[in-house]
Structure formats: C-alpha cells, structure tokens
C-alpha cells in the first residue's frame, strides 16, 4: 500500500500527531510519500534520517497511490484537491484544526484509524465538485476551475450592493440585490452557505444550493436545485470589478464577465471510517446533541 501525506499546522502540538501517523503507517509496512514543503516543516520533528519519497504537485502523483492523508482541518482538504484533481485517489482527513466537517478523524484516534484502514473497514464516497467557466476566459481560473465547497461572487472595493442576474439552464431566475451569491455543493452546505442561512444537505444529495449573501430582496431565500443544472451569473454594480472565490481561492473579474457553473466531470473521493457518519458529525460539530431533552 502506498499513501500520500499533506498537511498544515494549526496548533503547536500538531507535529506530535504527524509523528503518530507516520509511525503507525510504518508499523503497517505502508509506503509513504510526503509533500515537499510539508516534509521540510516537519523534518526536525522526525528524529531520524529516514528517507521519504516526496511529491511537489499534481504532476508527481498517479494512480499508484492508494490513499491520501490530509493533516489539518477542512481548509487543508480543500488545498488537497489541488494535488488530487481528477486522479480519483481517496482522501482521509485527520482533524488537527477546529470544526472539521470533512476532516472527521480526530487526532487522538489516528492509530485506530490506521488500524481500520489496514483491515479495510472503511468506505469511499464521492463528493460532487463545481466547475466554473468564464466568458471572456480568465487565466487565473483556467487551471484550477473547480471547487468542493462553493463558488461565490461578491462585491469588491465598495460597500454598495451588487446585482447578480441568475439563469438556470438559460432560463432567467431572478436578480439578487446583495453583497454576493453562493453556489454550494452538499459538502459546502455546512460552510459559507450555512452561515448565510442556507440549508444543510446530506453529502449524498443530488443537488446544489443557491444562497444570497445579505440580500436586499427581503423575499430572497436559499434555493435547492438539481445538480445537473447549468447556472449562469451576470454581475453588475458601481465598481468595474467583482470577486469570485472557489473555496479559498480568489480571482478578480471585470464586470462584463459572464460566469457559468455546473457539476464537475470528476468527484472528490472521501474515505469514511465505519465508526463515523455525517449525522454523527452534525450532532458533534453543530452541538445538536447538547439539547438537555436529548
């Protein structure tokens, strides 16, 4: 078995859990390749001269990898996509950050997680991605034009609202007067969209949600649509440019740019241990179980 490891540091004790992961994998005879910059950051914690295989970018990975470990939080998994892309390598998120809807394995449970993987006690589920195209073409979005959580348009250099004319399969829906508009996947429904009043969608839902950001249209509400819908956005406002974000990546687009969003041709494959579930994560992360009546 061969795995890749990529991570980011969120807390001072993060290195302890990286060592635990590497030791557990080594005990199982697993071949490990570590992202170059991450290895540089953890090298002085390793305490040995062991040589690890490394990778630098998407071009260094191939189908020979059985799994990918993401060490950090949900943001780290979003960065992991830039390495995985359409290779179909399953990703397991280990949470050394905070909330962790995607990084579901807690840092204290790393050894148990590796044991479960060695026994093949896990499932691999597909998470839908969004794909964006712009007219005219924007070079900043030509290579990394996909998002796991959401695509969002928002105002830039102004406190004034923008107007987002929205079309579904070329049929006019409405024009949102707002600070911006979010198109979220089921995975992203527990992120930015949720904080703006959008619904929670289970990961296996076959739909996307359109959520306005601070709309001035008082009757504007989040809308769930089928995931085979093509969404077209035309933004206007007082400034000549606006922002578009794909997960945590930003680009500046001129006002005349038309954005087309649709379901990506490939999915993100996530590893789910059988001791975890999305509903359990909801109870733990959103504190639904804190109601004393339960």
Active site residues: 74
Query: Which residue's structure tokens are 């296996």?
Result: 204
Instruction: Give CA–CA dist 28/120, Å, rounded.
Output: 13
CA angle 217, 222, 227 (to 5 degrees): 135
Instruction: Give CA–CA dist 236/278, Å, rounded.
Output: 38
Closest CA to 167 of 264, 265, 258: 258
């Amino acid at each position: 078995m061969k795995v890749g490891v990529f991570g980011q540091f969120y807390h001072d004790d993060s290195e302890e859990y990286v060592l635990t992961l590497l030791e557990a994998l080594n005990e199982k005879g697993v071949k490990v390749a570590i992202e170059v910059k991450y290895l540089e950051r953890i090298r002085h914690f390793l305490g040995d001269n062991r040589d690890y295989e490394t990778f630098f970018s998407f071009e260094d990975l191939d189908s020979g990898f059985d799994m990918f470990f993401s060490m950090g939080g949900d943001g780290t998994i979003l960065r992991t996509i830039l390495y995985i892309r359409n290779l179909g390598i399953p990703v397991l998120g280990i949470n050394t950050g905070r909330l962790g809807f995607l990084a579901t394995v807690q840092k204290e449970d790393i050894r148990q997680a590796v044991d479960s993987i060695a026994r093949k006690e896990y499932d691999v589920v597909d998470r839908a991605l969004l794909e964006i195209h712009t007219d005219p073409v924007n070079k900043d979005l030509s290579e990394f034009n996909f998002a796991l959580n959401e695509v969002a348009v928002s105002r830039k250099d102004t406190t004034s609202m923008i107007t987002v004319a929205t079309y579904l399969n070329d049929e006019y829906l409405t024009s949102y007067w707002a600070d911006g508009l979010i198109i979220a996947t089921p995975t992203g429904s527990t992120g930015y969209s949720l904080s703006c009043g959008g619904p929670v969608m289970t990961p296996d839902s076959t739909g996307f949600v359109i959520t306005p950001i601070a709309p001035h249209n008082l009757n504007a509400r989040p809308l769930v649509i089928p995931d085979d819908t093509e969404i077209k956005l035309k933004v206007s406002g007082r400034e000549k440019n606006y922002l578009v974000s794909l997960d945590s990546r930003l680009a500046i687009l001129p006002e005349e740019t038309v954005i087309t969003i649709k379901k990506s041709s490939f999915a993100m494959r996530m590893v789910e241990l059988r001791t975890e579930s999305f509903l359990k994560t909801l109870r733990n992360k959103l504190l639904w179980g804190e109601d004393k009546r339960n």
